[in-house]
Structures are given as C-alpha cells and as structure tokens.
Structure 1
Amino acid sequence: MLFGRSTPPEQAAAVADDVPAAINDLALQALTEQALAPTAAAPDRVDAPESRPIFTELPPMTIDPSREYLATITTPRGEIVAQLRPDLAPQTVNSFVFLANEGFYDGLTWHRVIEGFMAQGGDPLGTGTGGAGYNVPAEFTNEVAFDRPGILAMARANDPNSASSQFFITTAPAAHLTGQYTVFGEVIAGQEIAEGIPLRDPMTATTPGEEIIAISIEER
C-alpha cells in the first residue's frame, strides 16, 4: 500500500504503466502492523522525537463541510495550493486541517517520490513508518478518479482504515487507485512544483527529502 517501502526503478516503470499487480505487490507496501482505533474524543498530545506533537485520538469535527478550504503547501521551490473536499471526505479533511493548524507538518519532508507516479509526505519520521498517532477511517469514493495529475489523497497501510498523517499528490494518471485511497483534495495551483520534487526512495536514501516548510489552511 502507499506507505513504507519504495519501488525499484524497473518496478516503478510498471507502476507508471498502470499495472495493478505491480502496484499492489511492489510499489505500495504496508507502513506498519500498528493500528490505533480512532475515536471522536478530543486528542491528547504526547512527546515525540524532536518535540513534535503526536496525538492519541482522532480530533473532534471542527470544520464545516459546507465551507471551502484551501491548503497551501510551502516548499523551498514554491507553493502548491490544493482545494480540499470536505464534501467527499469530511473526517479526512478535518484531520488534515487539524494537523496543519497544529504545525504538525511544518518541517517534514517529501520522503517518498516516484517518477511518473506520486510524491508522498507527512511522515514525522521521514522513513514512511510514522504517523500522527491515530487513524482516520476510510472515505473511499469513485466520484473523483485518479485519472489525472494533482489528486491529493491519503496514504495508508493494508488496512483500509489505517490512514494517519501521510498524504500523496499524483504526478501522473493512476486510475488503478480509484476507490482504493481516500481522495480529499486536488491541486489547483503549483502542480509544476509537485512534479519537480526530487525523486527519493526512503529505503536507500542517505539524505532527507525536500522539506515541507509549512502547510497553511484558508477557510472561505
């Protein structure tokens, strides 16, 4: 699944060619066996490496699904602006907005970037094995297909309900992912920034991925 181990170059080619078997068996390995049951209670913070807060429970619903939310992801090369879709994935958008407003994503990296497929970030460990400390229930839909670049979705392990803080932006069509991952937004500006993120395999990299300087949220 879209977490953890990356695909070797020859296998990534199969991913780009939209071969579902290669996706499931090679490119999208599971993050971890750990799964925390989400609840609606207010989240508690616990200490994490480098003093980054990790939360123990799904945050309470604070967004208004009838409002418009824009997320601006600031990188060293420019900004990526995404229109969030609380109408499609209210719990996911609520969690993403909560983490962004808490500064959780500030200073993290794009830890896994596969050419012609996607850029993945949001892991506090930078290895593909970290999360926010809670899981977000799946909100899969066929209403928005992975048929174009710029789809913003949650990464997860094998369990459909194992999404946490890691997310990805597609850099090419990936139709085989439709209905398998929670789509919660789409890039409306700066897709060229997303497509220019340096490639990185977290299993072999010796330096950190490109930084996510900050993610800010605008409510309209």
Structure 2
Amino acid sequence: MSKAKTPPRRPAAIPEEKGADLPEAWRRRPWIPVLITGIVVAAVLASGLAVDEALKAPRPAALDGCKTSTQIAPYRFTGPQPICITAAHKYQATINTTQGQVVIQLYPEIAPVTVNNFIVLALDGYYNGMRWKTEDWVVQNGDPTGDGRGGPGYTLPEEPNTEPSWGIGAVGMARPPGLPINGSQFFIERAAWPGNGPTAIYNRFGTVIKGIEKVGLLTAPADRINSITIQVG
C-alpha cells in the first residue's frame, strides 16, 4: 500500500519590515526631516570652521586689523602682507615647538616690513605644523613644501641694519645665494655663524630672549612648530 506523498514545505514567509514609525506631524509635513538634516549639516560645517579658527593663534586687540593679502592657493598669496603694526607698540612672538616654547623679541624699528609679515603669517596659522630644518649652527622653518625652496609666493625687500649684531639667538630671514629674501622662511642661530659671519643681508628682525636651550634641542624631521602667538606691549 503506497503512502500519500507529503507536499513539499514552502519556506516560511518573512514578514515585511515596517518603515520607521514617523511622528504624525512629520507625515503631514514631509519637509520637516529635510529641514532637520539641513540644520545638522550646517552645525557640523560650522563646528569645523570653529575648530579651524581655534587652531589659529589668539589675536591681540591691537592686531585686530591685521589681514593677509589675497590668498590664491594653500600657503600662497598675491604679495607681501599689508602693514598693520605701529611704532607705538613692542612685539614678541612665542613659538610653541615640540621641544617647548621659544620667545622672540621682534624689532619693528629696524625691520618693519619683515616683522609685520611674520606677525600676519603667524596670526593666520601659516607656520602651524611646519617641520624644522636643522644644522649644527642654525635651525630654519617656514617652508610649506618641505624641500627648502618653498615660500608664500612673494619675496621681501632688504632691510639692512648693523645693530644688533649676529650671534646665538639671532633671528633672520632665509635667502638662497644670489636670490631675493624668502617671504616666509626664517632661521635662528644656535651657534656661531661659520666663517666670518653673513656675507649678505638676511633681515635681522628678532632675538631669542627665552628658550634658546629649546632651540638647541630641535632636530629634523621630528620637530615642528605647533603654533605661534604674538604678544603686544
């Protein structure tokens, strides 16, 4: 006697998932979720801008008017930075490095264009994150390309002076042999200048007054500038 064939089992039906249970007000006004999404996106973008501004150096009230020249690309500008410093103030720069703080007394009375240019770039965060290049007697920074030839897209005029003299702690602007003064690369002496000293104009614009021992610790490529703050007196 043959057995009745058992009909094949069909897979159990998977219940359809219900959509998200939206509030009744949202179902009546479908533009509300779009509006909320837009608000969230705007908040995220605004927070990003806020973080970017926070990474820039604090700006003393006396330097509120300092603005860069027109920026045409990352780290590139149309020309030297507009003058915003005055003879009525004294200026110091605190370079926050990975080895500690280095404080520089700036000399606007003998190199006003160079000091102004350095201050405006520092306030704009230009130097933040840049790595040092080092030799036994000098450390140098301000090259956005990292190959020793980079700059902000312009050069600086010569500002010759005989005082103060060059020596340990002296701060000047870099220049390739036979070429103009770089618009952003600066150097600090940490030992005596080789030979008979400088044979060209390097726009001496400051002196380290605190932290020269930190300058002695800087190595390449490990160390970098975290930020630069400007103090006005």
**TM-score normalised by L of structure 2:** 0.66
Task: Tell me if structure 2 keeps the 8 A contact 1:144–1:178.
Answer: no
CA distance in 2, matches of 1:88, 1:176: 20
- Residue 188 of structure 1 aligns with which residue? 209
Q: Tell me how far 1:181 sits from its aligned partner.
A: 1.4
Q: Tell me how far 1:173 sits from its aligned partner.
A: 2.2
Change (3 A) 1:178 1:82: farther
CA distance in 1, matches of 2:176, 2:160: 14
Once the two structures are superposed, the pairs formed by residues 133-172 of structure 1 within 5 Å of their partners are: 133-146=153-166, 148-159=167-178, 161-172=180-191
One-letter code aligned to 1:61: I
Task: Tell me if structure 1 keeps the 8 A contact 2:94–2:102.
Answer: yes
Q: Tell me how far 1:160 sits from its aligned partner.
A: 5.7
- Residue 123 of structure 2 aligns with which residue? 101
Once the two structures are superposed, the pairs formed by residues 1-220 of structure 1 within 5 Å of their partners are: 43-48=69-74, 53-110=75-132, 112-115=133-136, 117-146=137-166, 148-159=167-178, 161-174=180-193, 176-177=197-198, 180-198=201-219, 200=220, 208-220=221-233
Query: What 5-or-longer segments of structure 2 have no aligned partner?
Result: 1-67
Q: Tell me how far 1:171 sits from its aligned partner.
A: 0.5
Between structures 1 and 2, the one with greater helix share? 2
CA distance in 1, matches of 2:69, 2:87: 20
Q: Deviations over 1:148-198 (max 9, x none)?
A: 210011001234633210000000122511763110000000000001111
Change (3 A) 1:120 1:165: same
Count of aligned pairs between the two proteins: 165
Secondary structure of the 1:100 match is helix
CA distance in 2, matches of 1:163, 1:63: 20
CA distance in 2, matches of 1:91, 1:113: 26
Q: Deviations over 1:42-81 (max 9, x none)?
A: 7210222xxxx32111111110133110000001121000
Q: Deviations over 1:100-134 (max 9, x none)?
A: 01110011110x2111x100111111221110111
Task: Tell me if structure 2 keeps the 8 A contact 1:46–1:55.
Answer: yes
Task: Tell me if structure 2 keeps the 8 A contact 1:80–1:193.
Answer: yes
Identity of aligned residues (%): 37
One-letter code aligned to 1:105: Y
CA distance in 2, matches of 1:45, 1:139: 25
CA distance in 2, matches of 1:178, 1:159: 11
- Residue 3 of structure 2 aligns with which residue? none
Query: What 5-or-longer segments of structure 1 have no aligned partner?
Result: 1-41, 201-207
